[in-house]
Amino acid sequence: MVDKLLLESSGTPEKAGKGRYLVAIATPGQGSSGFYAESMLEEFGPKAFPKGAKCFENHEASRKPTDMIGTFPEGAYWDSDRKQLMGELEVFPHWQDFMESVAPHCGISIYMAGKADKEGNVTELVPDRQNGADLVSYEGLEGSKVVEMLESARKAGSEPGVTAAQESNRKDASDMDEATAQKLIAAIEALLARDTKAAVEAAQVEADETLATERVKHVLAANEAIDKADISKRQAAALREQAANGADVTALIKEAEETRAAILEESAPEREVVAGRVAGAAAGQGLAIGAWSN
């Protein structure tokens, strides 16, 4: 058996609600990557295509987060009436207008790890964290040149019998011996791993920058609200510290205002007595000063 990266288009996504599309992930029969038996898809499809599998724009090897169109929240299931491996794609909000426009003119193609025999029969779909189904422009689209080269090298290195149709897609490896093909496989897989790592790191940097920006906005907005609140300086200082640590102080500001108002209300009679004493003392002091000066 030969390990393969299966890239196979299986028709146009069907609208199934706001931001949702019913997708034929795989269909039995002959495809550009091999022959798919109905029993094989029914047995291995739901296991190899998990809940949360991703959908990207085209079969780019880097699998960049910015190219991710959506996910398949429920994974895949075998539809015995349609005789197809089906799934429901949930499109991210910022891609929905795009999908509305292009979905009727595009296909969905699997990006799936699998195994095949020397006759070109796909014998198994293998669970893998990168398994998914991508939006492609044409049926049978084989993805990026890097992926084509990887498939070419694998074919030349482990399958001696290559059909004319397969040869047209694998001309880069037509004259390779097995040792050369294996070296190319190792080099390309290292390239794919590097690109994936770079994409993850870039996404992490972008996420960190976004988080930092949002934190600054949060603190500025919180301080503005604190400045406008009818609270003591001590209360304001405590709230600013909590806002700087990421806390949502909206409710805390309201609570601080209510607490301050209650304290002021309870202490009003005492403050009136103190104010009266201070006024009386001031008046008595004035009289004494006047008498002394006379």
- SS3 annotation, 167-215: HHHCHHHCCCCHHHHHHHHHHHHHHHHHHHHHHHHHHHHHHHHHHHHHH
The answer as to whether 9 is a domain residue is yes
Cβ-defined contacts of 177-183 (< 8 Å, 24+) = 181/153, 181/154, 181/156, 181/157, 182/153, 182/157
pLDDT of residue 177: 60
The answer as to whether 220 is a domain residue is no
Q: In terms of domains, do 8 and 136 share one?
A: yes
Structure tokens that stand for 17 in this block: 């609600």
* Helix (H), strand (E), coil (C) string for 3-63: EEEEEEECCCCEEEECCEEEEEEECCEEECCEEECHHHHHHHHHHHCCCCEEEEECCCCCC
Total domains in the fold of the chain: 2
pLDDT of residue 287: 41
pLDDT of residue 178: 64
Q: pTM for this one?
A: 0.47
- Report how far residue 139's alpha carbon sits from residue 132's, in angstroms, rounded to the nearest whole number: 16
Residue at a domain's end among 114, 141, 168: 141
- HSE-CB of 94 using CA atoms within 13 angstroms: 4
Residue at a domain's end among 118, 141, 164: 141
Longest dimension (CA), the chain: 127
Q: In terms of domains, do 134 and 251 share one?
A: no
The answer as to whether 146 is a domain residue is no
pLDDT of residue 138: 64
The answer as to whether 201 is a domain residue is no
Residue at a domain's end among 89, 117, 141: 141
- Report how far residue 241's alpha carbon sits from residue 226's, in angstroms, rounded to the nearest whole number: 11
Structure tokens that stand for 109 in this block: 């193609």
Which range marks the domain in which residue 259 is found? 229-289
- Report how far residue 94's alpha carbon sits from residue 223's, in angstroms, rounded to the nearest whole number: 32
What are the pLDDT digits (tens) for 175-198?
456 666 666 666 666 665 555 556
What are the pLDDT digits (tens) for 101-159?
888 888 888 888 888 888 888 899 988 888 999 988 765 433 333 444 445 554 544 44
The answer as to whether 113 is a domain residue is yes
Q: In terms of domains, do 36 and 133 share one?
A: yes
The answer as to whether 177 is a domain residue is no
The answer as to whether 198 is a domain residue is no
pLDDT of residue 85: 92
pLDDT of residue 157: 46
Q: In terms of domains, do 123 and 233 share one?
A: no
pLDDT < 50 stretches in the chain: 140-150, 154, 156-175, 286-294
List Cα–Cα distances, 42 to 11, 25, 45, 137, 278, in angstroms. 18, 12, 6, 26, 91
pLDDT of residue 186: 64
The answer as to whether 52 is a domain residue is yes
